[in-house]
Amino acid sequence: MHEVSLAGGILQVVEQARVRDPFERVILLRLEAGALSGVEIGALRFALEALSPGTILEGAQIEIIEKPGAAWCMKCSQSVAIFSRLDLCPHCESAQLQPTEGTDLRVADIRVV
Amino acid sequence: MCVVCGCSNSTATVSDAETSKTAASSVSSASVQPVVHAHTGDLHFGAGAARVSVPGMSQERAIQIEADVLGANKAIAQENRAHFASHGVRAFNLVSSPGSGKTTLLCASIEALRKRAPGVPVAVIEGDQQTSFDADRIRATGAPAIQVNTGKGCHLDAPMVARAFAQLDLHAHHPDHAHDHEHAHTHDHTHGHEHSHDHGHSHDHSHSNDHGHPHHHGHSHDDASGAILFIENVGNLVCPAMWDLGEEAKVVILSVTEGEDKPLKYPDMFAAANLMLLNKVDLLPHLRFDVVKCIDYARRVNPAMRVLLVSAQTGQGMDAWLDWVLGVDA
């Protein structure tokens, strides 16, 4: 459900970009969603499509790139790839993992006219 | 002939552009100067449209943004954090599913704090979709409370908390500070204490119009204990995990009438919290709730999680919880 708020945040980021560098509308919106960001990609896409009519995002193609997660394993002292917060270290099976990457939802870039 | 590169094969016409669904070949519908090569798909940036300067027409181009979608919220949360610190306020963000007993626990905590540390002002920001029932319950204890109704929203965000905090006057409830009020208003906001607001920020900042409000910047905080602000988030174990409100710590409350597997079912929230309060432990004899397993699950998603067993009903564990709140448990 928070994807609706996130979609609003994305629109805000794009509108701020337009203030800095004016354009008419967005034709491609590229997002990066980390595997640990707590974002449900299908719900986010739905929310963006629901929100976009009447905004500069209307008609924009939406590309959401899933970024893998990474964590620092405190037992083996190395960075390991993880795909959810429930994953154990693939090497030592420890749960002592500190997520380091894939925790953000970012607007990567936009293509505009 | 292609007007972009002069090749004879071009069919890059207005109708092509309009019927194309791909982003790369969509050009302004008013275009008589296509900027996309119809055969190769090459983009001729800077080649025509902008230079021709047809009104209402602009060129397709890419804009790098690389912005965190929650960045605006995080920036305001940082301002809240600085604001709380400048007032000597320690803020805690209480999160849980609906029905975990947050409000009952808060009322009991306020009563217990009043006995234990009568000089420490306590205030509450209550988040719910609708009604002021919870704020009414808090006010009945004598503590000031501001209800924030999120309407359709499923969580509190940093701007809501900034506005709500501006409505609270934690100091006014501190008898030792009464004599400070007169000179408090003469203080400039930027000296006297560390108060790092950035009012030149581009985003909407609700503090800017709050300073006419009886909101006493510039106090000296001679009482080490400061004030406590409890922020009771909307009952929801999913969304509030992502919104930083400027709190010192998130406290997740899980009641033993819920499943012990909740930390695994809602890992984002348990990962974001610093302390888990296992509430309603007076009911344990009547339930099949495996406390050890629950704590194991919580530490699996958050190895640093602190856990306290409490009962708002019987008062069990309240001392340890208040130790934590007052920062005297270290």
If you write DSSP's letter for every residue of B194-219 in order, what string do you get?
A: -----TT-SS--GGGG-TTSS--TT-
CB contact under 8 A, B58 and A23: yes
Q: Cβ separation of B239 and A74 shorter than 8 Å? A: no
Given strand B227-232, what is the order of strands in its sheet? B145-149, B122-128, B227-232, B89-96, B249-255, B275-279, B306-309
- Is B70 in CB contact (< 8 Å) with chain A? yes
User: Strand runs (DSSP E) across chain B, as ranges?
Assistant: 61-68, 89-96, 122-128, 145-149, 227-232, 249-255, 275-279, 306-309
Which pLDDT belongs to residue A1? 63
Average pLDDT over residues A78-98: 93
Average of per-residue pLDDT values in chain A: 93
Residue A58 touches chain B, beta carbons under 8 Å = no
Task: Answer yes or no: is pLDDT of B290 > 90.
Answer: yes
Q: What is the pLDDT of residue B59?
A: 73
Q: What confidence tens digit (pLDDT) does each residue in B205-237 have?
A: 434 444 434 444 444 444 445 899 999 999 999
Q: What is the mean pLDDT of residues B58-83?
A: 91
Burial of B186 (0-12, 13-18, 19+ CB in 10 A): exposed
pLDDT band, very low/low/confident/very high, at B330 (cuts 50, 70, 90) = low
Which residues in chain B have their CB less than 8 angstroms from residue A2's CB? 154-155, 238-239, 242-243
Residues B164-188 have pLDDT tens digits of 999 887 744 444 443 443 333 433 4
Half-sphere exposure of B119 (CA within 13 A, CB side): 9
Ramachandran sector of residue B246 (left: φ over 0; alpha: ψ -120 to 50; beta: rest): left
Check CB contact of B151 with chain A, cutoff 8 Å.
no
Task: Give residue A21's pLDDT.
Answer: 92
Give the per-residue pLDDT at B150.
87
Mean pLDDT in residue range B258-286: 96
pLDDT tens per residue across span B5-17: 444 444 333 333 3
Who wins on pLDDT, B292 or B197? B292
Q: Does A92 reach chain B within 8 Å, measured CB to CB?
A: no
Pick the residue of A21, A40, A73, A85 with the most B CBs within 10 A to test the interface with B by mutation: A85
Q: Look at residue A2 in the predicted model and tell me its pLDDT.
A: 87
* Amino acid B211: pLDDT: 42
Backbone angles phi, psi at B309, to 5 degrees: -95, 125
Shortest distance between the Cα of B168 and any Cα of chain A, in A, equals 26
Spatial separation of the C-alpha atoms in residues B76 and B82, rounded to whole Å: 10
pLDDT of residue B329: 76
Give the lowest-confidence range in A39-48, B120-129, B200-209. B200-209
Mean pLDDT, residues B183-200? 40
Interface predicted TM-score of the whole assembly (ipTM), two decimals: 0.86
* Residue B194 scores a pLDDT above 60: no
Specify the pLDDT at position B28.
32
CB B164 within 8 A of CB B146: yes
Asked if A14 has any chain B CB less than 8 Å from its own CB, the reply is yes
Does B303 have pLDDT greater than 70? Answer: yes
Secondary structure class of A65 (helix, strand, coil): strand
Residue A113, min C-alpha distance to chain B (Å): 4
Residue B16, φ and ψ in degrees, nearest 5: -60, -45
**CB nearest to B64's CB, from A13, A24, A109:** A109
Task: Say if the Cβ atoms of B267 and A112 lie within 8 Å.
Answer: no
Give yes or no for B1 touching A (CB within 8 A): no
Of B26, B66, B264, the CB nearest to A108: B66
Check: CB of residue A36 under 8 Å from CB of residue A69.
yes
pLDDT higher than threshold 80 for residue B280? yes
Instruction: Please state, rounded to an integer, the average pLDDT across all residues of chain B.
Output: 76
Testing the interface with A: which of B29, B36, B63, B305 to mutate, by most A Cβ within 10 A?
B63
A105 → closest Cβ in B56, B70, B155: B70
Confidence of residue B58 (pLDDT cuts 50, 70, 90): low
Q: What pLDDT does B169 receive?
A: 77
pLDDT at B197 over 60: no
Judged by a CB distance cut-off of 8 A, whether residue A97 touches chain B is yes
Strands, DSSP E only, in B74-202? 89-96, 122-128, 145-149
In sequence order, what are the beta bridge partners of B125?
B146, B231
Is the pLDDT assigned to residue A81 strictly greater than 80?
Answer: yes
Q: At A48, which amino acid appears?
A: L
B184, two tokens: 């408090």
Helices (H) and strands (E) in chain A, counts: 2, 6
